[in-house]
Homo-oligomer: A and B are copies of this chain.
């Protein structure tokens, strides 16, 4: 009789740590790169935060630049096919679909360490054009395509009014970008003393988004002449 399948025993500490090293280094590097920027981050600090020596870092990453690229690559959660598939099967209203998009973005990206990559790309775009293009290709392009399909669905069904899709997609994206920034540079985004609840912001934004997108009511686009 075959033994019941067991969870794989945790490897002996040494070995597991060895396996974990690169990940711990990437975590530490992400935090520091996001907080201080690429140039201002010292590799020794990254190593120290990961609990290893400077030399060890170079055992896993041939250079600081490679470490940076690895950080970006590893943090990109390219789950867009899956996300796209979910939306294909969705049968509710497009408004509801967008709400789900916002919420799951928040849960999977916005509130996680991955959101730091966005800040990183914005800040280091000038210094790493190549890796930012990679990010554009892997993240921005599919994300925009996803949203575009959702908006097309809404327009096709009559839920949404007719819009220039290029700008409409940006309209959907902008609040998420802003929310990301508030998490990493709150002082540069919000007034002194503001108390800010990301989830409430998400809720508020989706409401605002839908009201703005609804086809029906406004007889004229400039209701207050």
Contact A166 B211 (CB under 8 A): no
A164 to B213, CA, bound (A): 20
Contact of A205 among B171, B184, B196, B221 (CB under 8 A): B171
**Interface hub of A36, A38, A135, A174 (most chain B Cβ within 10 A):** A174
Q: Are A189 and B214 in contact (CB under 8 A)?
A: no
- Which B residues are in CB contact (< 8 Å) with A133? 187, 192
A178-215: which have CB < 8 Å to B? 178, 181-182, 184-185, 187-192, 194, 196, 200-201, 204-205, 207-214
- Min Cβ gap A127→B in Å is 6
Contact A191 B144 (CB under 8 A): yes
A136 within 8 Å of B (CB atoms): yes
Contact B221 A210 (CB under 8 A): yes
Q: Which of B95, B175, B181, B194 is A122 in contact with, Cβ under 8 Å?
A: B181
A39-B40, A209-B212, A214-B223 as given contacts; A140 in contact with B188, CB under 8 Å: yes
A37 to B36, CA, bound (A): 10
A: which residues have CB within 8 A of B? 35-40, 92-96, 118-119, 121-127, 129, 132-133, 135-137, 140-141, 144-145, 159, 163-164, 166-168, 170-171, 173-175, 177-178, 181-182, 184-185, 187-192, 194, 196, 200-201, 204-205, 207-214, 216-218, 221-225
